[in-house]
Amino acid sequence: MKKFALCVALAVMATGAMAKEWKTVRIGVDASYPPFESKAPSGEIVGFDADLTRALCAKMNVKCVWIESDLDGIIPALKGKKFDAIISSLTVTDKRREQIDFSDKLFDAPARMIAKAGSPLLPTAESLKGKRVGVEQGSTQEQYAKVWWEPKGVTIVSYQNQDQVYADLASGRLDAALQDQLQADAGFLRTPRGKGFAWAGPAVQDPKTIGEGTAIGLRKSDTDLKAMFNRALAEVHQDGTFRKLEKQYFDVDIYPERQTRTQ
């Protein structure tokens, strides 16, 4: 009888652990990536990802709490339970899937190089040999550049955040920068500090390093939270919230699969 009672108690405890009630979800973010995520003078996290996250949390009926983190430490911080989800233009790659889980896709994330307007540079190792290219530390663009360019004589300079990349590009300490195309367009080229700079060649492609779009990063054990986010994502697509937010920030469709998506 004692053994039976112990088994029942353990089963109840296990069920309670599995059925966690999410009232607050802590969101990890690298707030240096406008127009997706940045910090307003008031200290508020703003941008497309921020607005989308608030819409998702409203659908999930939970409170969002933002916790800032540099990109290169954001996955270890998630695994260390400093927050519960990463919503920070995080690209999905096989290497990252080994460490964490991901929600359904948020949006596309092509990578493209920027240089001085009129520069003959192209995003190839041959064209960039002997040049200095800036990337954000921990980004998929850094991974791409270190795999395909650095071994062939290109100097890859990694920075703690994207703002530092643009600062050194503008000052002339870099010959080019490789980053997310959507972010660079709205967050740099269309701003005063991007004057005199332009795209240098087409987007680079490599599923193993650049990945295949962005998603919400989650711990593999939090399957219930993943299901909640996926339901909320389906709802914001169905009711038009995603499209409404998209139009506020971008001139292009950042979710081209929308027309063929089945809910």
Contacts of 115 (CB under 8 A, 6+ apart): 121, 175, 176, 177, 197, 198, 200
Per-residue pLDDT tens, the chain, 263 aa: give them. Answer: 444 444 444 444 444 444 578 999 999 999 988 999 999 999 999 999 999 999 999 999 999 999 999 999 999 999 999 999 999 999 999 999 999 999 999 998 889 999 999 999 999 999 999 999 999 999 999 999 999 999 999 999 999 999 999 999 999 999 999 999 989 998 899 999 999 999 999 999 998 999 889 999 999 999 999 999 999 999 999 999 999 999 999 988 898 764 444 33
Cα(211)–Cα(215) distance, integer angstroms? 11
Instruction: Please name which of 151, 113, 117, 120 lies closest in space to residue 135, comparing C-alpha atoms.
Output: 113
The H or E element containing residue 241 is helix 241-249
Q: Strand, coil or helix: what is 25?
A: strand
Facing residues of 28 across strands?
Answer: 67, 86
Domains by residue range for the chain, with CATH = 21-108+213-253 (3.40.190.10), 111-199 (3.40.190.10)
The pLDDT of residue 257 is 64
Cα(18)–Cα(224) distance, integer angstroms? 8
Instruction: Please name which of 133, 144, 124, 125 lies closest in space to residue 202, comparing C-alpha atoms.
Output: 124
The pLDDT of residue 109 is 87
Do residues 128 and 120 touch, judged by C-beta distance below 8 A?
Answer: no
Q: What is the pTM of this model?
A: 0.81
Strands 132-136 and 176-180: parallel
Cis, bond preceding 35 (omega within 30 deg of 0): yes
The pLDDT of residue 3 is 44
The pLDDT of residue 20 is 72
Strands 176-180 and 155-159: unpaired
The pLDDT of residue 261 is 41
Q: Strand, coil or helix: what is 209?
A: coil
